A and B are shown apart, each in its own frame.
Chain A
Amino acid sequence: MSTVLILGAASDMARAIARAYAKAGRAVILAARRHERLASDVADLGLRYGVAACAVEFDVLDVAGHARFLDALGELPDTVISVAGFMGEQAQNERDPEAATLVMRSNYVGPAAILGEAAQRMTARGSGVIIGISSVAGERGRARNYVYGSAKAGFTAFLSGLRNRLHGSGVRVITVLPGYVATRMTEGMATPRLLTAEPAEVADAILAAEAKGRDVIYVRPIWWLVMTVIRAIPERFFKRMRI
């Protein structure tokens, strides 16, 4: 039974991804801070799908501890998915450099470091799949969320470079751009229906992308169109817009 490691496993999206992989018969390792709170999720996966599941302690910000974390797993997983990330509050990020730095570390520095470390080991083994959940917010900086967006832009570029470097090594890299997702976090917010995916939809798209050998996926294809338009707007117009 091949194994998937899910980093930042406490979010709704991560829970949906864990279920999709477990349903496909994969063993699942859930990694998050305060991993003891994931005990009920581990039980849920075992009961629903009869697969091996466990939870381990992991802090994406503790870059110095990443190598030790991977060593402690024993066997290197077949697939590593980083769902880690943290949006923060844009207004606070503008006032408080500490807050902004935390968002950058949570969405770029930490995830890039752990996936880079996993990539080294997978390359040595000659096989593996690395999946990074980035964001459409990283496609172009907008006033509304550019601190978060800039970190995701960095992460997207990192994944792109890593994919380029590892081509031919037996290790694949997939970038996932979910768009709006209906999670507990967005419950009560009126996001456009056409642009909003359910967590299970994101999870199924990731599983399909892994199976089909895709490189970059928008979970809902319409986001490709939206972001192509947004990227094409000349800066001298874009800077005046409030979108």
Chain B
Amino acid sequence: MMLAGWGRYPRAECRVVAPHERDELIATLAAQNSLIARGNGRAYGDSALNPDLTLALRHRDRFIAFDDASGVLEAEAGVLLADILESLMPRGWFPPVTPGTKFVTLGGMLAADVHGKNHHKTGAIGDHVESLDLGLGDGSVVRCARDDNPALFAATLGGMGLTGVILSARLKLQPIETAYVREETLRARDLDETMALFEASRDWTYSVAWIDCLARGPALGRALLYRGEHARRDELSADKHGAPFAVPARRARRVPVDFPGCALNRWSVAVFNRIYYRHGRPGTAIVDYDRFFYPLDAILEWNRIYGRRGFVQYQCVLPKDASRAGLTALLGRIARAGAGSFLSVLKLLGPGRGMLSFPMKGYTLALDFRADAASLALLSELDAIVAAHGGRIYLAKDARIAAADFRRGYGTLDEFATVRQAVDPGHKFASLQSLRLGL
């Protein structure tokens, strides 16, 4: 069937199989020549597309064990983060790291080694995985952990499914007292102020900035910075004291149709951005976790606002020393093209862990572009800026980078290739993305 990632670009006709039980899944791995695992399809580009065989694993979603004392959850890889939140948050446990949507699977989060607003403090999701079971191409299953097949463990976290199929994993959750976050909003008038605010927020657990990517000249890099801490029980208003995990139900809205391609243009986006910037009220508020972590999940199928042709999300990270110069060049180029998006996000990351994992110490910038020829040409220019500053792009978002540009950003590719060669010499595990990038 026709499949695509969350950006709906590119699309490819893929054979899809959904194995029922673990034995059937493992037998499928042994019998095929080329395949990739797919979770809930939230990678933006072609990471989970393989025309020969795309394994649909979102139905394999059982909890296997949970230890109420340590907070370690063992679950099948198809479990959604939303399910983990639904069941375990009311019992006082929260994911150690969460991306900007809860509609991702556990396996997908590990394969992309996702990061969240707390990366500078707590690292990526892989830093909180106790162990994982990996199905290999020969039909065997190996358990990987920091002290058990450590190289394969490191290569699989962020490995985009190219070392095997993650069957299940044990993830250590963090204890929380309430379902709420104490959020502080700050306004920054330019890039220097924005970066200074990130530095000043180093001790906050969560920090992220919405950046006006169409602002130019002296306003370049102006932003609203949000920082947060899990609220303690005594910070809640009296009416919430009795039920600190009860959150008002939000009615999810759905984007009913594909927007026409012209709905988002430089004028509508510029107007939106100006209003959004002015409306950001500096101050402190207690907000529920859904609003703080998953504002976009309230709009189901929001990817349809970019029209039928889809969109690409561009996310890069620049080394910290080169971030100011790199961001200035990137934002300047984007503003000049007038091609920016509503949702441009800036975040200061902590150190990464190598192999194919994306994060490294420095600033990461993410923004959306309609998938058209002009945007794709612009993104190639951005690739050159990123490479010139020693940065790299995020595979979970990528749909189009050239192999050479990609490779320049990842210094540990050889190490990854060595590990992969040992477990999958024939490159049975492959996606349209890995083939495009010569991985």
Contact = CB atoms under 8 A, between A and B. Distances in A.
Contact of A12 (B15, B21, B59): B59
B299 interface: no
A37 B62 CA distance: 13
A28 B86 CA distance: 19
The secondary-structure label for the interface of chain B is mixed
Contacts of B17: 187-188
A48 B89 CA distance: 11
B18 interface: yes
B20 A184 contact: yes
A44 B83 CA distance: 11
B62 A44 contact: yes
Contacts of B154: none
Contacts of A41: 62
A190 B1 CA distance: 6
A49 B1 contact: no
Interface stretch (B29-37, B63-71, B175-183, B185-193): B63-71
B56 interface: yes
Interface in B347-390: none
Sort chain B's interface into a size bin: 10 to 19
A40 B56 contact: no
A183 interface: yes
Contacts of A40: 62, 64
Interface string A89-109: 000000000000000000000
Given A183-B59, A184-B59, A188-B16, A47 B2 contact: no
A229 interface: no
B237 interface: no
A54 to B, nearest CB: 16
A49 B66 CA distance: 12
B63 A47 contact: yes
A124 interface: no
Interface string A188-216: 11100000000000000000000000000
A226 interface: no
Contact of A47 (B15, B20, B66, B86): B66
A188 B87 contact: no
A187 B62 contact: no
Given A184-B18, A188-B1, A44 B56 contact: no
B1, B15, B21, B59 — most chain A CB neighbours (10 Å): B59
A188 B20 CA distance: 14
A43 B63 contact: yes
Interface in A48-66: 48-49
Contact of B65 (A12, A47, A49, A189): A47
B246 to A, nearest CB: 15
B63 A187 contact: no
Contacts of B62: 40-41, 43-44
A12 to B, nearest CB: 6
Contacts of B16: 187-188
Given A188-B1, A190-B2, A43 B56 contact: no
A219 B18 CA distance: 24
Nearest to A190: B1
Contacts of A37: 21
B87 A187 contact: no
A40 B21 CA distance: 11
A209 B15 CA distance: 37
8 contacts: A47-B63, A47-B64, A47-B65, A48-B87, A183-B59, A184-B59, A187-B17, A187-B59
Given A43-B64, A187-B59, 14 more contacts: A23-B86, A37-B21, A44-B63, A44-B64, A48-B63, A48-B83, A183-B59, A184-B56, A187-B16, A187-B18, A187-B56, A188-B17, A188-B56, A189-B1
